[in-house]
Structure 1
């Protein structure tokens, strides 16, 4: 039995956002430039302060909530052998800035059991939902049994949350035989229904990797964009680009109001990372897409990062300090798989050639350019050197493999993907080879299509060694319905001989890893413009352990 005492937020994670933003931004920019930030700009990013160290807590409130506060559902994430992170957020009025909760601190009870009926509760405790964290709750439940399915729920006052299902990872040194995972990305609410998430909720997978673009910063009109078959009329607060902390919080409320997304979270533990749209399209480190001064953009980034943490099943290790957050991290599934979850947005150099498609050149090939930052790159390479896993899986955001847009000798490449950071990619490929990584699987989002790619030691030489496998998981909704063969299908397949598959429909990738091989299934739906499309498998591939490269299943 687990202890039944309170799970309070550790004091070391209580800080003033004003101090944290100012300090971190100053480290990025230097004091002289940073002091140009006005008080008005700071107020734009933050409307509340987090509890200060040593401050007397506001009184607890457990009643007087007149309607269901669990409108945004429940979630779990980052499973370890002995713990898992549980999440919820109280919001009886999710389309109000405060969620209808006011400013008081609220006690929330949580329970964990082996059965969905909670006949025998094994773990329970109480967590505080602080207004300063938008009444989100993050509970790191420890002392769990490895490799076990659990059910969890929350309660406050008379209200009971939906039940979530989660699981722990196997023991760290166990020779686990199988793992089933899914990878999803890119879910622009306004582009269509989350039919993909409804099917994902019904999949028999151990864990889901969300590879970024969980939300989009663009305005959503009162009809919800393409969601014309619902009777919901959205308030004007969504019909503008997200800029402030309140904007980002409300946008998560909109996305999590979708019952299919909530169902997927309730069914499986998620491992999340971000790409650009959780903050702003194609930003690079502290450099925004447009001509806004970096010191102002960092305030926006701080707001976006904080709202991301508040609304995702993440531990306090990922809690932002102003505009900085350590999102890259490592998880394991026994000795079968090591997951190195990357962040290719926060630390990258600015895109070369004004972020326009361009042939490789001195600017994009500058060895000083990086997509990961030096510290994360070294962390990745060191992790491979010490890995005891059979499969080294790298969940990340943008296309790692070369992707030519034409068959000409000087074909343009994407400057936002690893093609715009070729020295960075070369160092990572060399690091994988030096570490003896034989079974390298890269999970990618961003591009709104499904690709299956052989990762080559030299992409310009089709005969060079294949060193790994990359799959892009298409999108949940971004790009609207999509088609099986986009107009550029033949061109891309000819221009990129290492590209083994290309499909433009919405869906996700399902992978089954075992000791002999990994099977990859591209799961797609025919449409998301109307709800209820069936799911099918567009293609399946196998990559064998010790023999990198894709083969039809």
Structure 2
């Protein structure tokens, strides 16, 4: 059991009476709690980071440059990607690895010059931007190009070149012009892609889907060992994986190699090449159910933070993220805001890095004094304030909140008091109350929460009082099922009847693999839950398991 401080106080309900004064007071208390803990843990870890994580300095070292003509094998084995589109720019990504299952990718410690091109056509007859970037060994030979000066609301094609090698072509798009009343946005939400649990069939279909954007809600990789057969992929002897994957990820080299394994999947590469991604992490990119500086095990924070630093570094290296997200040691500013004209504002959250430790030893438990301590937080005080301030300033029709764990109440039992998850917002009810109060005070009318984590598809009405089905509906929560985690799953899991009865605000529940596709319009939003029957064998067809709409200005889910 992790060490934790337990404050024996009753549950506070001051927010409903004085939302601003109580909210600010609780924020200050939470900030003091988090700031003190962060100071102690980060200070304790600082001395160990230098010699336990092989972390480079923030500026890349001046290593010698490799003559790219000497690269004899395709260095673009991990594909290409784009992300975080703005009206005038988008991030382009690739990572050079001619031998991806070796720790250095086969390029040693030398840096490599990489040319990039952006064109209006897939044949690159109309090249509008081009340049050269350096792939540094210090950053895993990854390349992040923040292309500036693009046209709003425009589809582009891009590619990279080094030596005699040309990368696959990627397709991306910029966001509409700021202030433009865009009429529609189509996006997909995905999460949880345990390589060893099955094939990425959902990505095979998503690569062909007509969406503008993909939101990845966490668990892009898993830290658990992957055996030579690739787990449920059941590789034959001729396709066995090397032993380097058959151990838990702990070091920077381990995490880099694990990303190489995941990105070796052709369906994942195809989805990245087809659509820009907006990514955020959950726990498994580092370690299962970690909370801020507290790991799942009894390892003290000063020993865990070097591992977190390695995981964060590898995450940035392998995702289409800007330099603003480049981590500094064990810290990385991942939460950020994107706009899609006046149609949508995306407030992308990080609910792992700043959270209080899970209550009740992180076991399912009825809410109590420990979990309802008003100083507890899932987002940290600074991110919470940033979110609510962003809502107050928002001019978007839809306010979309991509994040990780179930926001709505989710009772596990038909008896009272029911157990709930201590890892989700149910284990941080005071934190959820502050967010809800902030949304109400900001006048957020069309609130859409996107969630991953639980390997099932849910559709929730977000209620003013989850224990009163007749209370006001404040918004909608859509939980994307997993891409592969949990293996094949079932249309109706064993607990389907119990969950649907215990949670009347739960409007849909499906346990198969897939993704959720959302179309936002000026009058309504439509959600289609796309699922496949199997991931333990490749090639399953895609079906629509459920479709719902929610009208703008009238929250509440209705069957489409």
TM-score (norm 2): 0.92
Deviation at 1:286, TM superposition (A): 0.3
The residue that corresponds to 2:53 in the other structure is 45
- The answer to whether 1:195 aligns with 2:189 is no
Alignment check: 8 A CA contact 2:45 2:306 kept:
no
CA separation of 1:246 and 1:34: change in aligned 2, threshold 3 A: closer
Q: 2 CA distance for matches of 1:32 and 1:197?
A: 42
1:195, distance to aligned residue in structure 2 (A): 0.3
The alpha carbon displacement at 1:119 in A equals 1.0
Aligned residue number for residue 546 of structure 2 = 539
Alignment partner of 1:206 is 2:212 = yes
Structure 1 residue matching 2:395: 3-state secondary structure: coil
Residues 338 and 391, structure 1, Cα contact 8 Å, conserved in 2: yes
Compared CA separation, residues 81 and 385, structure 1 to 2 (3 A): same
Alignment correspondent of 1:264: 271
User: Following TM superposition, by how much is the alpha carbon of 1:428 offset from its aligned partner in structure 2, in angstroms?
Assistant: 0.4
Residues 1:480 and 2:487 aligned together: yes
Which residue in 2 is equivalent to 1:28?
39
| Cα distance, 1:462 vs structure 2 | 1.1
The equivalent residue for 2:385 is: 378
Distance 1:44 1:223, change over 3 A: farther
RMSD: 1.6
Q: Secondary structure at the match of 2:490?
A: coil
Unaligned ranges ≥5, structure 2: 1-34
Aligned to 1:321: 328
Does the CA-based 8 Å contact 2:41-2:302 persist in structure 1? no
Q: Do the aligned residues in 2 keep the contact of 1:210 with 1:273 (CA within 8 Å)? A: yes
**Superposition deviation, residue 50 in structure 1:** 3.9
CA contact (8 A) 1:364 1:422 kept: yes
**8 Å Cα contact 1:90/1:136 also seen in 2:** yes
Aligned partners of 1:166, 1:31: CA distance in 2, in Å?
A: 38
Kindly state the Cα deviation for residue 502 of structure 1 after the two structures are TM-superposed. Answer: 0.3
Q: Gaps (5+ residues) in structure 1?
A: 1-23
Q: State how 1:227-242 maps to structure 2 within 5 Å.
A: 227-229=233-235, 231-242=238-249
SS in structure 2 of the partner of residue 254 of structure 1: helix
SS at match of 2:186: strand
Give the Å deviation of 1:52. Answer: 4.8
Per-residue CA distance 1:214-261 (angstroms, 9 max, x = gap): 000000000000001565211111000000000000000000000000
How far does residue 145 in structure 1 lie from its aligned partner after superposition? 0.2
Cα distance, 1:256–1:56 mapped onto 2, change above 3 Å: closer
CA distance in 2 between counterparts of 1:240 and 1:150 reads 40
Match of 2:250? 243
Q: CA deviation at 1:43?
A: 3.6
Structure 2 counterpart of 1:106, from 92, 106, 112: 112
Inter-CA distance 86–31: structure 2 relative to 1 (3 Å threshold):
closer
Hey, what's the Cα distance between the residues in 1 that align with 2:118 and 2:65?
26
**Mean Cα displacement is larger for which, 522-531 or 230-239?**
230-239
Q: Secondary structure at the match of 1:249?
A: helix
Change (3 A) 1:364 1:490: same
- Residue 28 of structure 1 and its aligned partner are, at CA, apart by 3.2
Question: Of 186, 189, 213, which residue of structure 2 is paired with 1:183?
Answer: 189
**Offset at 1:63?**
1.8
Contact 1:227 1:529 in 2 (8 A): yes
Q: CA offsets per residue over residues 130-181 of structure 1, 9 Å max, x none?
A: 0110100000000000000000000000000000000000001100000000
Q: 1:226 to 1:354 in 2, by over 3 A?
A: same
Name the CA distance, whole Å, in 1 between partners of 2:198 and 2:331.
Answer: 32
How far, CA to CA, are the matches of 2:43 and 2:213 in structure 1? 46
3-state DSSP class of the match of 1:519?
strand
Cα distance in 1 for residues equivalent to 2:451 and 2:226:
26
Q: Post-superposition shift, 1:61?
A: 2.9
- Contact 1:337-1:390 within 8 A present in 2 as well: yes
Give 1:144's match in structure 2, choosing from 150, 154, 163.
150
Distance in 1, matches of 2:179 and 2:453, equals 34
1:219 has 2:219 as partner: no
For residues 302-381 of structure 1, the aligned pairs below 5 Å read 302-381=309-388
Q: CA deviation at 1:508?
A: 0.3
Q: Note the C-alpha offset of 1:33.
A: 4.1
2:294 corresponds to 1:287: yes
Tell me the residue number matched to 1:89: 95
What's the CA shift for 1:25?
12
Question: 3-state SS of the aligned residue for 2:157?
Answer: strand
Residue 508 (str. 1) matches residue 492 (str. 2): no
**Residue 45 of structure 2 contacts residue 305 of structure 2 at CA under 8 Å; is this kept in 1?**
no
